[in-house]
Amino acid sequence: MYRLLFRTVYTARNSSVSVYESCVLPAKCNKATAPVSRVANGGGIKALSTSSVRFCEKKNDDTPSNQDQKTNADKEADPTETPTLVTQKAEDASNVINMVEQREEEPVLLKTDDGSTTQQQVDVKIEQVVATPQQGKTDAAKSGKESLLDLLGAMKVEVTNKRKLKNLKVKPSYESTPKSKPAAMESTISMFQKATVEASSQSETLDPELVAAASAAASTLPDRSQAESELLRQLRQHEGVTEAQKKGDMNNLGVIIADMKVGKNPNRQNARPANQIRFDEDGRGYTHDRGITAELDSVRRRKNLFSGKRLNVFSPTTDEDGVESAVARPTLWDMDYANQLSLSTNQTPRNGLEEMIQWTKEGKMWQYPINNEAGLEEETSVPFHEHILLGKHLEEGFPRQGPVRHFMELVVAGMSRNPYLTVQQKQDHISWFRDYFHQKEEVLKEADVYLN
């Protein structure tokens, strides 16, 4: 029972499709279970899934159901990917429809003998959908019958895609339980597979959306696989025609004409007669090749300016020579050339700002600051510590301690915070004090404040 519980947990985590997949399987495994499952269908999904799993548990040994669940797990990706593309409401509906779809699938598989028509299925579907609200599926009811009908077509695209996968993947599990599979059903499955394989091979050149739409449309017809393949073939033909018409220019015509020539004269198809009408690649018309123009033609026809031969005179060298010549002082000729260049171009300013640029270049205008060191031209070479660390200038000429020293330290501290003086001015300031205190040394000594 634990196992059963675990399994149900597992199935419930999958989407309804996979839930139902487990439901279908028992139906296939044992025909006798079909009525039961159908009843279960009527009853509700929950009951159905439990019953199905139970059936699996009962009728088969562990392996098929395990495999089955593995496939379910594989397909978990499917429902999780697709919802992102669908709106929330459509998602609501899709759940319902997926369920419906499973139900619809059941009759197909069960009634393989009488080859039930899809029309009937649709009827069944609608009946079932109508039935579901009555059975208490209130959340499904908010999408009405009409919208459901509309959505059915769209959803089926998804389902058919899925089914393709499903068929491919589920098959091994079927084969592992051959005894429980009726022959008729096998044929149906193989037919399905064939159809999908065929469709996939055909759909190589077609848009996947188109293929999906085609298969959706085909599923509404009696013989769906054949219809699908026919539809796809038609589509491909159309695509071929449009492709041909898209390219339908002179070039194409040229090919046709060339073909005709081949038919006439098959042994000379490679050698082009010199006087043959040739069509321009760009379809502008045809040109007669004449002997003398042939060479020029080839020049004209050159796709890229730089793809031809070169003179082969110079070899690309390193830049050493160029650098050397650039270093030399500009001669009068260079000045004259530069002047010519500036005369030939239009140098008039277009707006006030450009005029200001011109003035800046001529040196008439103060430059706009480009960093916070604008106007500090003469101080640019001086490192900042020359400004800040002025203590070294007190090393000589001043007493080591005492009031004078104290005073000078204050002076230096103040100056180190002054951004408006240059270093030279600061040094001058200090040396002025040095001189001053030297001059007053006597006085200071008398007052006993000059300590050295």
Partner 1 sequence: MVSPSQKPPVCNNMAAPGRHVGHYIQRNSRFLIHNFEQLWGHRSFGWTPALRQQVAEANEESTGTIVIPRKKTWSKEAVLEALASTVSRDPTAYSYQFQDDPYLSPRTSSEFKLYSLSQESGRSAAKFFVNSNSKFFTKDFAEPHIPCLMPETVSLLLEEQSEEALKERINLRKVTAAVDMYDQLLQAGTAVSMETTHELLDLICLYCDRDPVQEGEPQPEDMEESGEEVKKRKGRFRRASDFLRFTWRENNNAERIFNLLPERDTRCYSALIRGMVKHGAYAKAFSMYTDMLNNRMTADVHIFNALMSAAPDVRDKYNERWDLIAELLNQMSQQKVQPNLLTFNSVLKALRRCGSLAKTQALHTLNEMKAVGIAPSLASFDHILAVFSKAGGFVSSPASSGQGNTDILQEVMSELAGTSFTCQDPNDVLFFSSAMRICLDNKDLELGYKVHSLVEQGENWRLLGDPYQQSIYYGRFFNLLCMMEHIDVVLKWYRRLIPSLYYPNPQGLRDLLQALDTDSRLDLLPTIWKDIRTLGHDNKSDLVEELLTLMARDRHGPEVQEAFAVCALDVKSVFDGDRGRHSLEWSTSALSHITSLLLRANKSQQAWEMLQLFKTKNRVPEEGLLEDFLSMYHSAGSSQRAVELVQLSASFCLSATPRLAKRTLAEFNLTEEQRAVLSELESTEEPSD
User: Among residue numbers 348 through 367, which ones bind partner 1 (CB under 8 A)?
Assistant: 348-358, 360-364, 367
Question: Which 139-178 positions form the footprint of partner 1 (CB under 8 A)?
Answer: 139-140
Residue 136 CA to residue 297 CA, distance in Å, equals 82
- Give the residue among 170, 160, 244, 254 at the shortest CA–CA distance from 200: 160
Residue 186 tokens read as 């096998």
- With CB under 8 A as the rule, give the number of residues binding partner 1: 94
Largest CA distance in the chain: 135
User: Residues 244-283 vs partner 1: string with x where CB under 8 A?
Assistant: ----------------------------------------
Locus of tokens 């009728």: 59
CB nearer to partner 1: pick between 90 and 411: 90
Residue 232 CA to residue 215 CA, distance in Å, equals 8
Residues counted in the chain: 452
Helix axes 183-202, 88-110, angle to 10 degrees: 130
The single residue among 3, 58, 127, 136 that binds partner 1, judged by CB under 8 A, is 136
**By CB under 8 A, which span of 28-36, 167-175, 323-331, 418-426 interacts with partner 1?**
323-331
| Minimum CB–partner distance for residue 55 and partner 1 (Å) | 15
Question: Which 113-132 positions form the footprint of partner 1 (CB under 8 A)?
Answer: none
Based on the shown chain and the rule CB under 8 A, indicate whether residue 372 belongs to the binding site for partner 1.
Answer: no
Residue 31 tokens read as 């025909």
| Minimum CB–partner distance for residue 107 and partner 1 (Å) | 20
Based on the shown chain and the rule CB under 8 A, indicate whether residue 381 belongs to the binding site for partner 1.
Answer: no
Question: Which 54-93 positions form the footprint of partner 1 (CB under 8 A)?
Answer: 79-80, 83-84, 88, 91-92
Residue 352 CA to residue 349 CA, distance in Å, equals 7
CB nearer to partner 1: pick between 92 and 186: 92
The single residue among 267, 270, 304, 380 that binds partner 1, judged by CB under 8 A, is 304
Helices (H) and strands (E) in the chain, counts: 22, 2
**By CB under 8 A, which span of 122-130, 255-263, 313-321, 415-423 interacts with partner 1?**
313-321
* Long-range CB contacts for residues 410-414, cutoff 8 Å, separation at least 24: none
| Minimum CB–partner distance for residue 353 and partner 1 (Å) | 4
Residue 171 tokens read as 């098959």
Based on the shown chain and the rule CB under 8 A, indicate whether residue 305 belongs to the binding site for partner 1.
Answer: yes
Question: Which 22-61 positions form the footprint of partner 1 (CB under 8 A)?
Answer: 43-50
The CA–CA distances, whole Å, from 323 to 143, 300, 318, 336 equal 80, 38, 10, 21
The single residue among 113, 114, 146, 321 that binds partner 1, judged by CB under 8 A, is 321
When computed from its CA atoms, the radius of gyration of the chain, rounded to whole angstroms, is 46
